[in-house]
Each structure stands twice: as C-alpha cells, then as structure tokens.
A and B are shown apart, each in its own frame.
Chain A
Amino acid sequence: MSLATATDAPPARDNLFSHARHIMAENPVTGIAFGLFALLVVAALIGPYVVPYDPLASDTAAALQPPSATHWFGTDQLGRDIFSRVVVASRLDMTIAVASVALVFVVGGFAGLAAGYFGGWTDQIVGRVSDTIMAFPLFVLAMGIVAAMGNTVTNIIIATAIINFPLYVRVARAEANIRREAGFVQAARLTGNSELRILLGQIAPNILPIMMVQVSLTMGYAILNAAGLSFIGLGVRPPTPEWGIMVAEGASFIISGEWWIAFFPGVTLMLAVFCFNLLGDGLRDLVDPQRRT
C-alpha cells in the first residue's frame, strides 16, 4: 500500500490501480505474464486472418522442412506450415479453456455459494457430489466422461468443467459461509430482500475477486487438461489444428530427429499455461495480500 492513499482517501478504483502498479513493480514477472496473455488473446481473435499460410493446406513438396525464413516453425509431414497452425490453434484451445472455466465458474460458483449460505441439505448434496468427483484421479475421470459421452469438443469442455467443480465449490462455499451472518447481509435481510436476492446481489459480488483468482489459476489447468485429452486422441480430431494433437502428430518424428513438429506447439502450450499460472499468482497478490508468497 502506498502511504499517500491512506490520508486523502481517494476513490477505491484509484487505490486498486496504484496497488496493481505496486505489485507489478515488485514482481515484473506478472507484467510479462500480462504481455503473454495479451498476445494469446490477439492470436485467438485475429490469428486466422493474419497467418502467412492456410493451416490446413498441405504441400508435400515442402514436407518436414526445419524452421527457416519461409516457414518460421518448419513444416510437418504433409508440408503444412507449423507457425500458421500454432497461431490458428490458439483460438480453439482458448475457446475450450474459457468455455469450460466459464461453465464451472457459474455452476460450481453457484453451488458453492448456496452450500455455504444455506448449509443443511444443500451443503450435504453439494459436498457429496464434490467428494465423489475428488475420489477419482481427475484426468482419468475426464477421459471416462469424454469416452462415455462421445468424442466431441463440447464434451471436452464439459469434462474439464466437471473435474474443476470441487475447486470452485470449495472456494465459493468457504467465502459464502463466513459472510452469511455479516452485517451487510443482515441489513439486506432486514430490509426484506429474499434469500436468493441476498445470495446473488450481496454475497456473490463480494466473493467475485477471490473467484477471479480461481478462474485464472484453473485456466492453465483447463488448457493442459484439454491438450492432454486431445493428445491421446479424444475430442479434437485431425486435421484440426490444436496444440495437443499437434504434439501427438509430431511425437513419432521426435525419434527420427524432426523435433520442430512437436516442439513449437508444445512450447506454446507450455507458455500459455505458464502465463495463466503467473497471472493467477499475480491476481492473488492483488486480491489477497495476506496470502502473498
């Protein structure tokens, strides 16, 4: 906290920004992570329109070329440009991650809120469901869900949301629980608000910052999980460009030395996950200074 803000009591927003700047200055890595994140978003939004080659067009004359000035990341066994494919893939990977996190944010967040606020049988049911999910090794459960429900991208999103459910429930439940008898909640209740209205109008906005940290932290995990599923052949199908499947396609060429086919999508995947993990840590410092490491 800067000293100046304490005395003249500026609006809360300024305070937050100065706090954010302070944290950035202290930890430049968070700044780098923000930069990477912006790059990812740009790639996902306009990637398909600016890449130099068609990500699906094969050119067998130029197959298996190492990185060069014409093909920055080289070409794969069908002569497709890996750079173009990596950039275009960011849209699909980001979509899967954002959609699954948004889904679990709404469903898991609400379930956790209700469990923490109402207690009783709501809490029991939500707790049982989370416990049961946690009884599985999470990636294995995701495999089972996608295999049972059918091999589509939508099901990858649902499976990824399901395995993240307990995490969101735990955070939302704990935060709602400590606020259920808070002064502002009692005031809202006295003025005649319905319980649901209090839950969504008073408690939900209060736990939003903590939940956003959770979103950022699980985003990386969601990308990893989706890429892992497509690596073993679930969900995304070739020739669709997606990082996990591109690594899988390059895997058989690693032992003959054509490293670039798997390397570039793999590194991009790693950087994306790294970026979200760092952002999550940075956001946590911002929201909850006490837990700073």
Chain B
Amino acid sequence: MLAQIARRLATAIPSIIGVIIVTFLLTRVLPGDTAAYFAGPAATPQAIEEIRAKLGLDKPLPVQFVAYVKDLATGNLGNSLTTGQPVLDDLRARLPASAELTLLGLLLSILIAVPLGILAAVRQGSWIDHLCRIVATAGVSLPVFFTGLLLVYVFYFRLGWAPAPLGRLDFFYSAPPDITGFYLIDSLATGDFETFRAAFSQIWLPAVTLAIFSLAPIARMTRASMLAVLASDFVRTARASGLKPSKIVLGYAFRNALLPVITTLGMVFSFLLGANVLVEKVFAWPGIGSYAIEALITSDYAPVQGFVLAMAILYVLLNLAIDILYGLVDPRVRIEA
C-alpha cells in the first residue's frame, strides 16, 4: 500500500512541474510589464527599473526560471503591496476560511446528491428520477454568484433566517482559539456553543450555494453508475438468491457504483475551487479567493500569482488524494498496481 501511494505521488510530479512552468510563463513572458505590476500603479520609471533589476527581470529567461524555482522552494512568493505581508503568510492565514467553506459545501452536496442519484436509479422513471434530471441540468446552468445573491435576498432580506453576508463571524464574537483554523470545529472542541452557533449561521448560506452548484455532476454520475451496476450480473444473482433489496442496493451495488463517483470528485473540485472565489466575493468571506480579488482590483500582482499557484498545487494534491482513496475503496486497483 505504501509503495503504491509513493508511486501515485510520483505521478503528481509532472503536473506540479507543469503548474510551475505555467505560473512562471504567466508572470514573465506574456505581454505586460511585470516590473510595473510589482512596482504598483503610481511608480516612477526609475523605480520600475530598480525593481526590474531587483527582481532579476533583466536576466535571461532560464536564469529567471531557476531563480523563480529557488524562491518557490524557500516559500518566497513575494510581498503583498496592500497588506505589506509576505504572500505566503497571507495565504496561510486565509486558507482555513476557504477550506472550511469548500469542504462543508462539498459535504452537503454529497449528502444530498448521492442519495438522490441512488433513488433516481432505483426508481427509474419516477418523479424522483425526473427531479434528479432537472437538478442535473439546472445545476450546471446556474451562475454560482447569482444563486448566492438570490439566497441572500430570500434568506437574509425576506425571511431573516441568515445574518448579513459579511464574513465568517459577526463582530460581537471573537474567533475561537486556533486549533484547526475551522471555526466550526474549533468552537466545538473548546465547548463554546455560542460561537459555534454564530459561525454556523454565517457559513450555512454560502455552503448551500456551493452545494447547489456541485450537486449536478455528483447526482448525474451517481445515477448513471448505479444504473450500470444494477443491470450487472452479480446484482441479478443477488436478487435471484433472495437477498433483501436494501442489502443489494446499499451493500453490494452502491459500493461498486461508488468508484466512478469518486473519479468525478476530481472534476467537481476543479469547479468548486473556481466557484469558491465567486462565492467568497458574494458573502465577503475572508478566504484566499477574496484575497486574490482584492489584489486584482489594486493591480497587486504577487498575491494573484501566489493564489493561482496555491490553488493549482492544492488541486493537484486533491486529485492525488482522490486517487489514493480510489485505491482504498477498490481492492482490485490495489492488486493490479
């Protein structure tokens, strides 16, 4: 098992190299003066020249690339002009907020989409099957920032069930002690139910927004793969042997149908990480997405570059985790490897 994980780790290396080359190209080769970006909008020509020399942008490209990789290896992503902090520190401080939101959104979406997909496959042609189809088609058409705003209007303005979309915690409350960085977990761990309730009231609406967005591919894939498995020989045998339907569906069919669903998660994460940026903007969520947007508006380039790189590496790692999970769920993959 360990050897297999090591082998999978090795397959992630070309992706990481590709990511590093692309982020390098994005900053150094494409039109647009990097030195002017880094100097900020109000810089004088001399200041830009100085920065150009300081950043090593007057050197040949391969030399610049080596310097870039060296910087990355030491965790140096440059400084943000707006916050004055190293980009790496900023990203690290804001990552838990984004991760908590994204993971809660994904969890919600799995909890709804998987049962929906299973029921749609078991009762093919019933109302629940049609519901599943509508969800799958509508879900991919909804602009996530628009769903977010609609939910804010309905649940904040009309019904008053949610607080104003202004971040992770109302300003009456102080953040729970930093254990995992996830407010929900930290407040529970310290037994602070008041803060937990406050944090939950802030997070549920953006999490639902993300969940609605990612429902569609998961539900569609669950339905399709359940249909394929339910038509297979071993399910017929199980039925013929008189096993309880619940045992067949949940015990045998579902475990086999899970594999394509896990594979889909990779694509779902690609969408989710992008959608997260938009949702963070709608709900003023203090994550890395809104950090990147603030930096974009002020033409503060280092944070944007750091953000793209961090997201890409995160995504490669998530795909790796999905691969390993796949091996855990499916013993056949382990034997073949």
What is the size, in residues, of chain A's interface with B at 8 Å between Cβ atoms? 46
User: Are the CB atoms of A247 and B143 closer together than 8 Å?
Assistant: yes
**Interface flag for A12 (CB, 8 Å):** no
Docked Cα-Cα span, A262 to B146, in Å, equals 8
**Interface flag for A238 (CB, 8 Å):** no
Docked Cα-Cα span, A232 to B296, in Å, equals 9
Chain B nearest CB from A185 CB (Å) reads 33
**Interface flag for A269 (CB, 8 Å):** yes
User: Are the CB atoms of B270 and A273 closer together than 8 Å?
Assistant: no
User: Are the CB atoms of A128 and B273 closer together than 8 Å?
Assistant: no
- Interface SS of B by simple majority: helix
**Interface flag for A259 (CB, 8 Å):** yes
- Provide the B306-337 mask, 1 if CB < 8 A to any CB of A, else 0: 01100110011000000000000000000000
Task: Give chain B residues whose Cβ lies under 8 Å from the Cβ of A144.
Answer: 23, 26, 304-305, 308
Docked Cα-Cα span, A128 to B15, in Å, equals 9
**Interface flag for A59 (CB, 8 Å):** no
**Interface flag for B301 (CB, 8 Å):** yes
Task: Give chain A residues whose Cβ lies under 8 Å from the Cβ of B316.
Answer: 135
Task: Give chain B residues whose Cβ lies under 8 Å from the Cβ of A32.
Answer: none
Task: Give chain A residues whose Cβ lies under 8 Å from the Cβ of B261.
Answer: none
Task: Give chain A residues whose Cβ lies under 8 Å from the Cβ of B153.
Answer: 254, 257, 259, 263
**Interface flag for A289 (CB, 8 Å):** no
User: Are the CB atoms of A277 and B30 closer together than 8 Å?
Assistant: no
What is the size, in residues, of chain B's interface with A at 8 Å between Cβ atoms? 54
Pick out which of these stretches binds chain B: A65-73, A147-155, A171-179: A147-155
User: Are the CB atoms of A247 and B146 closer together than 8 Å?
Assistant: yes
Pick out which of these stretches binds chain A: B42-50, B195-203, B274-282: B274-282
- Provide the A230-266 mask, 1 if CB < 8 A to any CB of B, else 0: 0111100000000010011011001111010011001
Task: Give chain B residues whose Cβ lies under 8 Å from the Cβ of A274.
Answer: 137-138, 141
User: Are the CB atoms of B141 and A273 closer together than 8 Å?
Assistant: yes
Pick out which of these stretches binds chain B: A81-89, A101-109, A208-216, A220-228: A220-228
Docked Cα-Cα span, A233 to B293, in Å, equals 8
The list of the 8 closest CB pairs from A to B, nearest first, reads: A139-B274, A132-B18, A266-B146, A144-B308, A137-B273, A274-B141, A148-B26, A135-B15
Binding site for A on B (CB under 8 A): 14-16, 18-19, 21-23, 26-27, 30-32, 137-138, 140-146, 149-150, 152-153, 156-157, 164-165, 269-275, 277-278, 281-282, 292-293, 296-297, 301, 304-305, 307-308, 311-312, 315-316
Binding site for B on A (CB under 8 A): 128, 131-132, 135-141, 143-145, 147-150, 220, 224, 227-228, 231-234, 244, 247-248, 250-251, 254-257, 259, 262-263, 266-267, 269-270, 273-274, 277-278, 281
